[in-house]
Amino acid sequence: MHFCMDWRAIGFDWNRARAFLITAEEGSLSAAARVLGMTQSTLGRQVDALQSQLGVVLFERVGRGLSMTPSGLELLDHVRAMGEAANRMSLTAAGQTQSVEGKVVLAASEIYAAFVLPAFLARLRISHPGIEVEIVVSSRASDLRRREADIAIRNFRPVEPDLVALKIRDVPARLYATPAYLERLGSPRLPCDLRHADFISIDGSGMFLKGLIAMGLPLTERNLPILTESYLVMWELVKQGVGIGILDGSIGDAEPKVTRALPDLEPLMFPIWLVAHRELKKSRRFRIVFDLLASEFKARGAAEA
């Protein structure tokens, strides 16, 4: 049976619904405004307009925060389904375009964004000047299914069935320090010679220390006097002679201010994956960037070998 819908009776504004959805998911107007790239006052007006349009109260203020009302909770699943449908439509449309001109959003850690992407983008600008690139730098994995990025550089294989992934290679992570710092340690040659060394930790969970111990280093928490979650900050500290750090060997070996600490030590190996949504791989523009980026990483691996 075919049901006719009276579209004239539906005066629904998707922008207002999106404002409600993101505010609900982020938990505050300020966080939602940052996600959507708009001012908090503009976002607040969109949420208020939706409440007026629907004739229901979606949020209540609790202190400085927001709490969803029962009506808001009941509507949230419907609006979330709308968001997922809009996202699927956007992905499908993006995958159909064969134009080489347009934007591609790349997600990468700050190390790859700073040390790999600049040379790649310099070549891309010459070969395909119509492609615009936005770089999303984050230590967490971007949600490609929600279009937080189009292509991501990751160190793990995705499990989502609607994502496609290409493993580039396994990368050696090596220990680095300045020659002066290693000289102060007595020019270490064996793992036990680093028992009094300072390491710059990039992980507060304890996994970094476990990884170093797995490499055969006799270390404790006392060997990690400095912690930063930024690899760029860690690398600058290493270059200033503050301590020892660990980094992708192709990047570390290219820095003249440092040298390998214990060069004969077996490195930690980790994979590099390029990941994209399956729909986007149908687009010529995204395929070009995906394939050229894969070639860039493979060339770096060949040079390192």
| Both tokens assigned to 103 | 């934007």
Where is mean pLDDT largest: 10-19, 37-46, 118-127, 144-153?
A: 118-127
Strand partners, 171: 270
pLDDT at position 254: 92
Q: What are phi and psi of 59, to 5 degrees?
A: -130, 150
Task: Tell me the per-residue pLDDT of 123-162, one tens digit each, with 9 for 90 and over.
Answer: 999 999 999 999 988 767 666 666 678 888 988 888 777 7
**Does residue 97 carry a pLDDT above 60?**
no
The residue-averaged pLDDT of 283-301 equals 85
CA-based torsion, 272, 278, 281, 286: positive or negative: negative
Name the DSSP letter for residue 236. H
Query: Is there a contact between 285 and 208 (Cβ–Cβ < 8 Å)?
Result: no
Residues 72 and 107 in one domain: no
Least confident among 92-106, 151-165, 261-275: 92-106
CA distance 142 to 137: 9
Q: Which residue is listed with tokens 């990468």? A: 108
95: three-class secondary structure by DSSP: helix
Answer whether residue 284 shows pLDDT above 80. Answer: yes
Shared-domain flag, residues 65 and 89: yes
Indicate whether 146 and 275 sit together in one domain.
Answer: yes
Residue 283 within a domain? yes
Q: Are 42 and 118 contained in the same domain?
A: no
**Beta bridge pairs of residue 108:** 137
Same domain, 276 and 265: no
Tell me what the mean pLDDT of segment 222-249 comes to: 95
Is the pLDDT at 225 greater than 90? The verdict is yes
| Residue 135: Cβ within 10 Å count | 17
Position 86 scores a pLDDT of: 61
The answer to whether residue 22 is domain-embedded is yes
Range of the structural domain that residue 35 is part of: 7-96
Highest mean pLDDT, choosing among 8-22, 38-52, 106-120:
106-120
Mean pLDDT comparison of 3-7, 137-141, 256-260, highest-scoring range: 256-260
Token pair listed for 67: 């709490």
* Calpha distance 250→245 (Å, rounded): 14
Mean of per-residue pLDDT scores for the chain? 83
Same domain (yes/no): 139, 179? no
Give the confidence band of 9 by pLDDT, cuts at 50, 70, 90.
very low
More confident residue, 89 or 273: 273
Mean local confidence (pLDDT), 36-57: 79
CA within 13 Å, CB half, 1:
2
Distance CA 245, CA 109 (A): 17
Amino acid at 237: L
Side-chain-side CA neighbours of 64 within 13 Å: the count stands at 2
Distance between CA 279 and CA 97 in Å, rounded? Answer: 11
pLDDT(227) > 90: yes
Q: Residue 178: what pLDDT?
A: 98
Q: Whole-angstrom distance between the N-terminal and C-terminal Cα of the chain?
A: 66
pLDDT of residue 1: 45
Angle CA 221–247–157, to nearest 5: 100
Q: Is there a domain that residue 255 lies in?
A: yes
- Distance of alpha carbon 235 from alpha carbon 247, whole angstroms: 8
How many structural domains are present in the chain?
Answer: 3
In sequence order, which residues have a C-beta less than 8 Å from that of residue 218 and are 6 or more positions away?
A: 191, 192, 194, 195
Same-domain check for residues 164 and 176: no
Confirm whether 1 is domain-assigned: no
Residue-wise pLDDT tens digits, 168-177: 989 899 999 9
Q: Specify whether 280 is located in the same domain as 192.
A: no
CATH of the domain at 292: 3.40.190.10
Question: Which of 62, 96, 130 lies at the terminal end of a domain, its last residue?
Answer: 96
Q: What is the model's pLDDT at position 133?
A: 93
For residue 275, tell me if it sits in a domain. yes
Domain with residue 62: its CATH number is 1.10.10.10
Same domain, 151 and 274: yes
What's the confidence (pLDDT) of residue 132? 92
Give, as one character, the DSSP assignment of residue 144: G
Same domain, 21 and 75: yes
Looking at the structure, do residues 145 and 279 belong to the same domain, yes or no?
Answer: yes
Q: Are residues 140 and 216 in the same domain?
A: no
Tokens of 263: 């060069």
Query: Does residue 66 lie within any of the structural domains?
Result: yes
Rounded CA-CA distance 128/135 in Å is 17
| Contact (CB, 8 A) for 32 and 26 | yes
Among the ranges given (61-75, 186-200, 222-236), the one the predictor scored with the smallest mean pLDDT: 61-75
Contact (CB, 8 A) for 104 and 132 = yes
CA nearest neighbour of 155 among 198, 111, 212, 201: 111
